[in-house]
Structure 1
Amino acid sequence: MTDTPEMPHVLSPRDEARVRFALKAERLSEEALDLLPVAPAAPRGERLRRALELKDLVDTLVERAVVAEREEGTTWAQLADAAGISKQAAHERWAPAVNAWATNGRAAFPPASGRSALEAARRLDQVHADRHPDHRADAVSSGLDAVRFPGAVAAEAARRERAAGLHARLAPLNDQLSTAYAEWSLLNDGGARPKARAAVLIRLAALNEEVAALHEELTGAEPELADEHRSSAEQARSNVASNREYAELLAAKAETEGVTK
């Protein structure tokens, strides 16, 4: 008798994104069906308000669709073509959602929730089967990598662990950047001496350099989101250049002030 491989609590990012999209689709369908009853005495504007709430759910569903597509390897050019917009417009509109997904661990549920994407998929199997009895009973879960390729579980877990470690190093750096930029803004707005402002810029350059290096590493740990990480790395390197250039100008100004005194 062959043992059935134990299913992981957290699935591959691709599976997690698929289930997350399906859950939002279920919520949207429920909310849409709730609009069917006619209430003649409903307050004025009630139908419009509820329809707009439904639109917000659609917008979220679209974002989750983009995340799931990116996890499956769909390019930004392909997404733009599907949406009938330019590649740049698609990236500007949806890249923040993809980046937030990566930052939050690429999982449908928070780790402390105790909820499982696979369990959610199996519940959605029943939801779908109740409405479409002519479809297969496991229409949702059967399409997941964890079910189709259970042998890939160990490799996925190793990649997740590597990516999680890099994100754990990235989070405090981003916090330090926010603090340093706030300090820079206060010093700049307050007319602080050039030497003090230059010191903050030098610190910002060093932090941005570390951020760029981590995003470069993440392109290997999260290859499906390599475009996003390369873009973040390029932005960080651009910040390094501008930070250092301005710091040099301020340092020269500080020297000039010292000579004239």
Structure 2
Amino acid sequence: MSPLDTALSADVTAAADTVRVAAVAESGRQADLLLAGAGEPGERDHEIAWQVLQFRIHLTVGLDPLPDLVGLRRIGTTWEVIARAAGVTRQSAHERWARPVADVLDRYGTGELPGGLLSTP
């Protein structure tokens, strides 16, 4: 088999997963660097800011933002803050991501979300 045939037929799933994990780990380090001197790690505001930075970094490089959004909504981050981080309107952010986030946080469709966080504007 030629190198090109190998390149075109190889299963790249494991390689892509490895790259994705490395990207997420590096984005955490970059968020730490960007927040250096802005509050203390472990403080609520610092942790929220760190997660917002993770979301922005992941969105910028094309990673799936759903895990970040679920985490942000779970801790009560508003759609307004999420929209600002994404550079869109609150309505646009809500229309784009509210349903996928609700599908994770309210997987049984009971409407009983942890702390009612998804009802936060």
TM-score range, shorter chain: 0.3 to 0.5
Structure whose alpha-carbon radius of gyration is higher = 1
- Between Structure 1 and Structure 2, the one with more helix by share is 1
> Could you tell me the TM-score, scaled by structure 1's length?
0.23
